[in-house]
Amino acid sequence: MGIYFDEIGNLFGKYSKNTEKEESVMVGSHIDSVKNGGRFDGVVGVMGALEVIRTIDKNNIALKHPIELVAFVEEEGTTFGSTLLGSKFFIDEIKDFSRYTDDDGVFILEKAEEFTIKKDYKKRGNTPIKAVLEMHVEQGNVLYSENITIGVVTNIAGVNWLSIVLKGQSNHAGSTPMHLRKDPFPTAGLIINEVEKIAKNCPFSDTLVGTAGSIKVTPNVTNVIPSEVEINVDVRDISQKGMDYLVTNLKEFAEKLIEDSEIELFIDVEETAPPIKLSDKIMNIISEKAEKRSFDFKHMHSGAVHDSSLLAKKYDVGMIFVPSIDGISHAPEEATEYEDIEKGANVLLDTVLELST
Ligand SMILES: [Zn+2]
């Protein structure tokens, strides 16, 4: 296999023994991890792809299309503060690199150059892509709890991040009477409560999830009335309509809350990833292959974002999930039975062969 890289450090290995077509079938995932993460998230997809290529080579299977293994960098966003950087670069969506530096102030491109030049890799160039496949651990408890081995991913949930800032007036907690306070904290509490209420009671979507995941209180001192509270909310659904429902209703609720008070409200919505529908054609192939091998499978959506979310904007993409034991991920206890990984890799192999022969 020829080993290549691109400027941001994504690594590619191309297997093109006797292939006649130029378009490649891309298979892989990411190999970076969150801090204190596990050994399976991402790695299962890269090792699975490598095993698929080894198997094809060992058995001398003739291919029409080359198979391209990919290991994306910076999927988790741990080092440079932004998720999906490798795949974002790959689909040409990074316009300004200057914001991406690590804790030592080193730019992402410098870092990438350092390790790719050292290894003397060649540049990938612009080989066209026929389809993309990613095998990944589910990172949830659906497959494991239902005792099903293969998840055929239909959609990947989109993500919106909301920053809600409430401003009041800092003052002494002892000497300021209740009726003379501008305390934003109780209002923040009601908003947090409402996030859960709205997400639980959406009349048309049972895939909508909302999480108030962080809060910053200023000055955060027990005997001082806070001057400012910032809540950060994570909103996800497989349809934009569901995400909009939570965002709109929460905004209305918060605006109404502060209407007759002196608290100021600032809401900022940042779209981090759009909801994505994966390729029907590839979904059907994956299901067919799982069925042929008599593995239990089910169609399901992914609540977590993956490199595939971005790649699906440009290419035909399919994703295979394997069970996470007890649904645990992004923790040292993260694990998947090797037997399940083997089954997932076999479905990956069959799907790759269908697409490349
Ligand atoms: Zn991952």
Confidence check: pLDDT of 67 > 90: yes
Give me ligand 1 centre to Cα 330, in Å.
9
pLDDT at 68: 97
Centre of ligand 1 from the C-alpha of residue 212, in Å: 22
Q: Where in the chain is the domain with CATH 3.30.70.360?
A: 158-273
CATH superfamily to which 2-157+276-356 belongs: Zn peptidases (3.40.630.10)
The SS3 of residue 172 is strand
> Which segments of the chain belong to CATH 3.40.630.10?
2-157+276-356
Cα 292 to middle of ligand 1, angstroms: 27
Percent of the chain with pLDDT over 70: 99
Confirm if 160 and 264 have CB atoms less than 8 A apart.
no
> Separation of 348 CA from ligand 1 center, angstroms?
17
pTM of the model: 0.86
pLDDT digits (tens, 9 = 90+) for 109-152: 888 888 776 676 777 878 899 999 999 999 999 999 999 999 99
pLDDT, tens only, 241-289: 999 999 999 999 999 999 999 999 999 998 778 899 999 999 999 999 9
Q: How far is the CA of 322 from the centre of ligand 1 (A)?
A: 12
By percentage, how much of the chain surpasses pLDDT 90? 83
Residues 6+ apart with CB under 8 A from 170: 218, 219, 224, 225, 226, 227
Distance 275 CA to ligand 1 centre (A): 17
How many C-alpha atoms does 249 have within 13 Å on its Cβ side?
20
CATH topology of domain 158-273: Alpha-Beta Plaits (3.30.70)
